[in-house]
Chains A and B, each alone.
Chain A
C-alpha cells in the first residue's frame, strides 16, 4: 500500500482500569491527561492527535473497563465508543502482572472484530515479581501484535505506533474468536443467521459479537434489534436460554482459551512477600486503618498550611510593593482600578499559590502512591452504615482539589441512587478554591490555632457530606448501597516527575483562573464599587465602596438574609460573586477593602464589622454554600436534570446558612464575638 493512502487512522486506547492507558496517551500525544494509581481515574474520553510517519493518528484515551458489558457510566463511554465509532485500531493496554484477566477483555474485542494491538505495561513490576513472558510467542499464539512499552519513560512508543499503522493498513483482517463448544456454537450460528436477514442492521452490528451478547441476554443489544426482521425468533430463542448458565459457560470457555495460550508463554514467579503486602498489613489493618488515615490527612493539611505560610508572605509583600508603586505613579481612576481593583483583587488570590501547590502535591502523592483506593476500602464500613458506597469516598477526597472532576468521578459508581447521592454531597468536600478564605480568616482571627480551625472546617465538610448522604438515603433515595468490589492497586513509590507534573498542572490552572475569570470578576466588583447613584440622583462615580455605590445597594438588598449571621454588605457582595468562582470571595473582599497595599489580613483585622465569631461563621458559610458555576454546570451534566441541580443549590445554601448561624452564635457564647 502506498503511503499516501494511509490518511487518518482512528486509534482507541482501551483496557482494564489502572493499567497505564493515560500514561501511553500522554506519551503519544504530549497531552497532560490526569494519571493516578487507582482504578477509575479517566471517566471521559479524550481525543489527541499525533503524526507518525505518513499517518495522521487520532488517538482516544478511554476509561478503563473489565469487559464490554458496561456496568457503570465510565464503562458505557468506552463500550459505546468502541462499538459505535468503530476505531480503525484498538490498542489494548495490558497489565503484564495480570495477563489472564486482561486478556479476557481481549477475547471480547476480538469477537467484536476489532483490529487489536496489545501494548504491555508494568513489565518492570512483572520482572520484579519474577514472572517471565515470552512476548513473541504470545503474539504468535493470539495472532495479534504485542509491544512491550515503557511509556512512563517515553520508551517504545514509536514501535507501538509502527504496529498500529501496520495493523490499520493491512488489507485482510482475520476474525479471531474463542470457540464455545458445539451446542453453543449452533445457537450462535442460528442467531447470526437471523440477524443477517436485516441487512441495514447487520451492517451496523458485528454479527458474532451481537449473537453472543443476545444469548447472554444483554439488554442493550436486545434493544437494538427491536423492530428487525429476526426479532421475534431471536426473542423466542432468548426465552429458552438460561442466561446465567450461558454467561458462565462463555466466560469459562474464554478463560480456558486464555489459559491454553498462557500455559505456553507465561510463567509466574514464586510469590514473595512484597513491600506492598507489608504496607497493606498496616494501612488496611482493622485497628490501625482509620487512625492512620486520619493522621495522614491531618498531617497533609498541616503541611499545606504551615509550609506554605512563609512563601505566601513573600508573595504578599511583592504584591503590596507593586500596589504601592502603582498608586504612587499611576494617576486618576486607572490607578485606582489597577491598584485597588486588579492588584488588590487578583493579588489577594495569587498569594495563595504556594498553598494551592502544596495541596495538590499532597493529593498527587495520595493518588500516585496507591493509598486512594485504600481510603475507599477503609471507609467502606462507615460509609455503608451511612447508606453510601466505599467508592463514594474517592470523589470526596478528590473534592479537596476541585469539585468538578470529583463530581465526574462519580461515574465509576454503578448504581444510580448511590451515584446521585454522591453527586449531591461531593461539593461539601472543601475544594482548593475555598482554602484562601480559610487561610486569610483563620490566620487573621485565630492565630496559632489557624491550622486546627482549617482542619476542623475540612472535617466539617466531610461530616456534613456523610450526614446529608444518610438523610438522602433515608428519604429521597431509599434502598441499600450496591455491592462493593474494587481492585486495590499495588503501592508504588510516587514518580517525582508524575507528581511534579500533576501539581504544576493544577498550579498553572489556578494562575490561569486568576488571570481570567477572577480578574474579570474583580473588575466587575471594582466597577460596581466605584459607580452608583449620587445624592443628586445621577449615575456616576461615587465615593469608592461607599453607601451610594452599586455594591452597597446590592449588599443592602441582600442584607436581611445575611444580617442574622452578622455579615455586612461587603461580605454579602463577596459571597454573591463567589458563585462565579469561590476564589472571588477573597478577591472581592480584596477589592472592597482596597487591600492591595497593606494586605487584606490587616484590613480585615481593623474592620469593626469583623470579629472571630463572624469570621468563623463566614468560613462555615463559604465551606457549605452553593457550589460555584463550573460545578453547577457539571452537576447538571452528570445528573441530566435541572431539578436536582436546583435542589443541590438550595440544599447546600440552606445548610450553609443554618450552620453559619450556629457557628456565629456559638462564637458569641464562648466569648469570641468581638
Chain B
C-alpha cells in the first residue's frame, strides 16, 4: 500500500479526535473529518487491496462526489454517492481520502 503523509490516518478503533472546527475548505482530509450534511470529492481510497476493490465495485471510488448523511459518533456513518446510500464504519471512513470543495 503506498504510504503518504496524511493529515489524519485513522486505523479502526483508534482515531484522532476530529480537529476543532473541522477541516477548512479545499483541504484534503478523510471522510471522518467532514461534518454531517457536507459533501466532498473522493480523492483516494487507502484501504488495502481487498477492500479497495470491493469499494470500487460498489461504486465507492475516487472522483465521486460523496455526501455525509448521518453518523454515530465514532461508530458507523451513512454516506451518499450517486443517490445510493451506504453505511460504513468510522475505521473504514478514515481510509477514504476526500477533498472538500
Contacts and interface: CB of A to CB of B under 8 A. Distances in A.
B70 interface: yes
B78 A104 contact: no
Which among B49, B57, B69 has the greatest number of chain A C-beta atoms within 10 A?
A: B57
Contacts of A100: 59, 82
Contacts of A381: 72-76
Contacts of A484: 76, 87-89, 92
B70 A485 contact: no
Interface stretch (A247-255, A452-460, A651-659): A247-255
A97 interface: yes
Nearest to A17: B58
A486 interface: yes
A459 B52 CA distance: 37
Q: What is the size category of the interface that chain A forms with chain B?
A: 35 or more
Contacts of A390: 76, 87, 89
Interface stretch (A64-72, A224-232, A598-606, A660-668): A64-72
A216 B53 CA distance: 10
A97 B86 CA distance: 14
Given A244-B1, A380-B89, A484-B88, A71 B61 contact: no
Contacts of A69: 53, 57
B61 A66 contact: no
B98 to A, nearest CB: 16
A380 B12 CA distance: 13
B71 A485 contact: no
A576 to B, nearest CB: 43
B51 A280 contact: no
Contacts of B78: 280, 284, 377, 488
Given A244-B1, A247-B49, A488-B78, A97 B83 contact: yes
A247 B92 contact: no
Contact of A380 (B51, B60, B75, B83): B75
Contacts of A380: 72, 75-76, 87, 89
Interface in B54-96: 54-61, 69-76, 78, 82-89, 91-92
Contacts of A384: 75, 89
Nearest to B69: A280
A7 B15 CA distance: 61
Interface in A473-523: 480, 483-488, 490
B54 A104 contact: no
Interface in A375-392: 376-378, 380-381, 384, 390
Contacts of A105: 57
B86 to A, nearest CB: 6
A485 B61 contact: no
B53 A247 contact: yes
A251 B72 contact: no
A101 interface: yes
A213 B85 CA distance: 29
Contacts of B54: 66-67, 71, 485
A129 interface: yes
Nearest to B55: A485
B18 interface: no
B16 interface: no
B25 interface: no
Contacts of B6: none
A248 B56 CA distance: 8
Contacts of A490: 85
Contact of B57 (A104, A217, A376, A486): A104
A533 to B, nearest CB: 63
A185 B76 CA distance: 40
Given A67-B57, A281-B70, A485-B92, A271 B49 contact: no
Contacts of B13: 480
A648 B84 CA distance: 39
Interface in A64-89: 66-67, 69, 71
Contacts of A281: 69-70
B57 A66 contact: yes
A393 to B, nearest CB: 11
Contacts of B61: 251, 255
Contacts of A271: 83
Interface string A79-115: 0000000000000000001101100110000000000
B92 to A, nearest CB: 5
Given A97-B84, A101-B84, A284-B78, A243 B49 contact: yes
A486 B50 CA distance: 15
A101 B82 contact: yes
B47 interface: yes
A617 to B, nearest CB: 37
A264 interface: no
Nearest to A101: B59
Interface string A377-413: 1101100100000100000000000000000000000
Contacts of B53: 67, 69, 216, 247, 251
A63 to B, nearest CB: 15
Interface in A339-393: 373, 376-378, 380-381, 384, 390
A285 interface: yes
A248 B72 CA distance: 30
Contacts of B52: 244, 247-248
Contacts of B55: 485
B7 to A, nearest CB: 21
A129 B83 CA distance: 9
Given A286-B72, A289-B72, A483 B51 contact: yes
Interface in A206-249: 216-217, 243-244, 247-248
Closest 3 A/B residue pairs (Cβ):
A381-B75, A101-B59, A67-B57
17 contacts: A66-B54, A98-B83, A101-B57, A101-B84, A243-B49, A244-B49, A247-B52, A248-B52, A251-B57, A251-B61, A268-B82, A286-B75, A378-B72, A381-B72, A390-B76, A484-B88, A487-B84
Given A104-B59, A129-B83, A280-B69, 10 more contacts: A66-B54, A71-B54, A98-B82, A101-B57, A244-B1, A247-B52, A373-B87, A377-B76, A384-B75, A486-B88
Interface of B: 1, 12-13, 47, 49-61, 69-76, 78, 82-89, 91-92
